[in-house]
């Protein structure tokens, strides 16, 4: 994992955290983001979205057609950061796209396993999450 990739993991973690600060229901936000054109852009080898901060990425997502629904729980900020960071790391670790990743480990799976996995090396946590999905 190079420095740029780790920075993008951090940006995505901060984006997910920002969704909570804006009281966007977490499961809906995560599903919407991970299947969005914004996530596809981040998955690509190079895209201008990779140079945007979390505030701009949130605005890009909001300007798209898929707005998260207005109901549901907002996860704690530390959980949201970990989920966002881990999903982006997962992409770099396995090469899988965001939509496939969220199908394997949806928001509730990530939330439920946060306490066990958040202190692990991200690659080990990803392997464990893939085992759960199998």
Encode pLDDT of 85-109 as tens digits. 999 999 999 999 999 999 999 999 9
Query: Looking at residue 65, what is its pLDDT?
Result: 47
- Within 22-121, residue ranges assigned H as helices are 26-34, 37-43, 54-63, 77-94, 98-104, 107-117
2-33 pLDDT tens trace: 998 999 999 999 999 999 999 999 999 999 99
pTM score, whole prediction: 0.89
Nearest to 99 by CA among 58, 66, 55, 132: 66
- Backbone φ and ψ for 114, nearest 5 degrees, come out as -55, -50
Judged against a pLDDT cut of 50, whether residue 53 lies above it is answered with: yes
Domain ranges of the chain: 3-64+73-133
Chain-wide mean pLDDT for the chain?
A: 89
Judged against a pLDDT cut of 80, whether residue 70 lies above it is answered with: no
Residue 96 or residue 133, greater confidence: 96
């Amino acid at each position: 994992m190079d420095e740029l990739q780790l920075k993008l993991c951090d940006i995505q973690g901060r984006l997910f955290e920002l969704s909570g600060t804006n009281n966007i229901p977490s499961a809906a936000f995560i599903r919407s983001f991970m299947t969005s054109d914004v996530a596809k852009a981040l998955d690509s080898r190079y895209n201008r979205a990779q140079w945007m901060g979390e505030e701009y990425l949130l605005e890009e997502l909001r300007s798209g057609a898929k707005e998260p629904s207005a109901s549901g729980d907002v996860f704690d900020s530390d959980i949201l950061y970990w989920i966002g960071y881990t999903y982006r790391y997962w992409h770099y670790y396995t090469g899988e796209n965001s939509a496939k990743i969220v199908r394997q480990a949806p928001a509730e799976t990530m939330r439920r396993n946060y306490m066990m996995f958040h202190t692990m090396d991200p690659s080990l946590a990803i392997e464990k999450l893939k085992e759960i999905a199998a």
